[in-house]
Chains A and B, each alone.
Chain A
Amino acid sequence: MRRATAWPLAAVLLLSGCVPASPDVGTYDDKASQTLGSAVSEVRTVQRVMETSYDGRMLRPTARTQMRYSEDALDTATSAFTELNPPPTRDRVFERANTLLGDAGDLVTRARITLERSEERRYPGLAKQLGRTANQLERLEERLQ
């Protein structure tokens, strides 16, 4: 009998680990702020890579490598954030952060493609857009701290 109840309980516990977390407001703010911090870091890195590439100061293989890492890291951060269930009072933060993270992801992908095609005249414009998005992400991050 004990065995009969232990297995379903273990299965429930195991499955609960696979369900998106529903943290309280404080924990949610902490996690959201951390994710936004990581995103700011990656977006600004890509911005610097575009700027130094435009100035002819960056090696192409290094730039390509960093683009790949930043894109992956941004994807991971975005997934980690969207998988969290926001508390009802944080719906607006969730939507805003989601939009910004999506924009950041699109921009980094565009930067990667532009760099791959060596379309140098587009580097400054993209760097500027990346800078703006990083600033918006940073402001949201500061609001959550």
Chain B
Amino acid sequence: MKKLFAVALGILTAIGGFVDIGDLVTNATVGSRFGMSLAWVVVVGVVGIVVFAEMSGRVVAVSGRPTFDIIRERLGPRVGLANLIGSMAVTLLTFIAEIGGVALALELATSVWEYFWIPFTAAAVWLVLWRAKFQLVENVFGLMGLALVVFAVALWQLGPDWSQMWHTASTAAKPGQEAWPSYWYYAVALFGAAMTPYEVFFFSSGGVEERWTEREIPTVRANVFIGFPLGGLLSLSIAGVAAVTLFPASIQVETLSQVGLPVAIALGKLGLAIAILGFFAATFGAAAETGLSVGYSIAQYFGWQWGKFVRPRDAARFHAVVLLSTILAAVVLLTTVDPILVTEFSVVFSALALPLTYLPILIVANDPAYMGSHQNRWLANTLGSVYLVVVLVASIAAIPLMIWTKLGTT
């Protein structure tokens, strides 16, 4: 019974924790501009994150060490450094975007200017990272993030023409008024949002925090194989409500309040309040995860003591990195940079950094010295190799498409 509860809790937190500010903004933007024609990208992205999260979870469960630590040992400090710089820069950018997202959610609930909330948000995130237990960070915000199920309820309540939606999604038909470069730019952004590198860092380092062993592999797989695809359905619901209400009205999503507007139309004040709670939980949870991931990646590369399973005093440098990152995030946001713009950059740069994150995981998961009898089988290798080609193409295309389409505005 206890085991079943642990599995159910893991699945629920995986669903609730799947969506972050990048998914919220990108899915709503795509739904409002392209209808459901880019739904296939969410499916491709979810399968990709499932493949690599399972791999990195298995690496942790078998070796008892986080993926980043093994990457440095197995591939040497130079490759490790490239991996560190690329992935950490994107994770830091995502951290900034998530803190901005929390401030935006608070602004929606109070109408008090978002920049007022930034110092308080940053302080609250840092306090949670410093004082709260790891399970608390993971479970509380993951479960609160389930409030975003309100988007699925809103979609059902709006009563769309399901066959038309399926037709648009399955044929990937681009709306006539949109240009192909913009279509592909948003495809790359959506893919980057679904496969954000920090998700793998947090997942694998979290495994060490929770002391996974080989016995936990079935639980890890249940979380990944059930929780992540259901989280992907939440992403599709966000795109779906935007496609049904905003797309026909030519409303393009530029703000978080526009992301919640379809829920207000469908379910009224209560639905909108639940959606705002979901925004808060999703962004706060992701801020905690990205903040920890920045600390994890740097501490693991330099071989420092890290994590929340030891007292803060014993992992002082790890906590110092987390504190400095939080201060940096607040300072960047207080320059009055638009958090939504930071989010757009973070998902595109995520796509750029994908090969640096996922190639080393594939290599380590194939190494019998670390994995023993749990090394990758043919299915994981086939999918992993196919996805490496996809992430490489997305990575190469990301910046040229961003420049060509002026961040998707043309």
Interface residues of A (CB under 8 A from B): 30, 34, 37-38, 40-41, 44-45, 48-49, 52, 55-62, 64-66, 69, 73, 134, 138, 145
Residues of chain B within 8 A of A55, CB atoms compared: 268
Stretch touching chain A among B251-259, B295-303, B321-329, B373-381 = B251-259
Residues of chain B within 8 A of A44, CB atoms compared: 249-251
Residues of chain A within 8 A of B251, CB atoms compared: 41, 44-45, 48
B252 pairs with A38, CB closer than 8 A? yes
Query: Which of B108, B250, B409, B410 lies in contact with A65, CB distance below 8 A?
Result: B108
A138 to chain B, nearest CB (A): 6
Residues of chain A within 8 A of B245, CB atoms compared: 48
A62 pairs with B108, CB closer than 8 A? yes
B267 to chain A, nearest CB (A): 8
Residue B172 CB within 8 A of the other chain: no
B157 to chain A, nearest CB (A): 12
A44 to B261, CA, bound (A): 12
**Contact status of A41 and B108, CB under 8 A, knowing A57-B265, A59-B273:** no
B269 pairs with A45, CB closer than 8 A? no
A55 to B272, CA, bound (A): 14
**A and B contact pairs by CB, cutoff 8 A, 7 listed:** A34-B410, A41-B251, A58-B269, A62-B272, A65-B257, A66-B255, A145-B177
Residues of chain A within 8 A of B254, CB atoms compared: 41, 69, 73
Residue B69 CB within 8 A of the other chain: no
Residue of A whose beta carbon sits closest to that of B111? A61
B272 pairs with A59, CB closer than 8 A? yes
The number of residue pairs between A and B whose CB atoms lie closer than 8 Å in the complex comes to 76
B150 to chain A, nearest CB (A): 13
A138 pairs with B410, CB closer than 8 A? no
Given A57-B264, A57-B269, 11 more pairs with CB closer than 8 A: A37-B250, A41-B250, A44-B250, A49-B261, A52-B261, A52-B265, A57-B265, A59-B276, A62-B109, A65-B111, A66-B255
A57 to B285, CA, bound (A): 28
B250 pairs with A40, CB closer than 8 A? yes
B contact residues, total (Cβ < 8 Å) = 27
B78 to chain A, nearest CB (A): 41
Residue of B whose beta carbon sits closest to that of A69? B255
B269 pairs with A59, CB closer than 8 A? yes
Judged by DSSP, the binding face of A is: helix
Query: Which of B108, B261, B409 lies in contact with A48, CB distance below 8 A?
Result: B261
**Contact status of A61 and B269, CB under 8 A, knowing A41-B251, A44-B251:** no
Residues of chain A within 8 A of B272, CB atoms compared: 57-59, 62
Query: Which of B110, B261, B409 lies in contact with A45, CB distance below 8 A?
Result: B261
Residue of A whose beta carbon sits closest to that of B107? A65
B249 pairs with A61, CB closer than 8 A? no
Q: Which 6 A-B pairs have the closest CB atoms?
A: A61-B111, A57-B268, A66-B257, A64-B111, A41-B252, A44-B249
A57 to B263, CA, bound (A): 9
A108 to chain B, nearest CB (A): 14
Residues of chain B in range 354-392 having any CB-CB distance to chain A below 8 Å: none
Residues of chain A within 8 A of B145, CB atoms compared: none
B269 pairs with A48, CB closer than 8 A? no
B255 pairs with A61, CB closer than 8 A? no
Query: Which of B267, B276, B410 lies in contact with A62, CB distance below 8 A?
Result: B276
Residues of chain A within 8 A of B410, CB atoms compared: 30, 34
Residues of chain A within 8 A of B207, CB atoms compared: none
Residues of chain B within 8 A of A41, CB atoms compared: 250-252, 254
A118 to chain B, nearest CB (A): 14
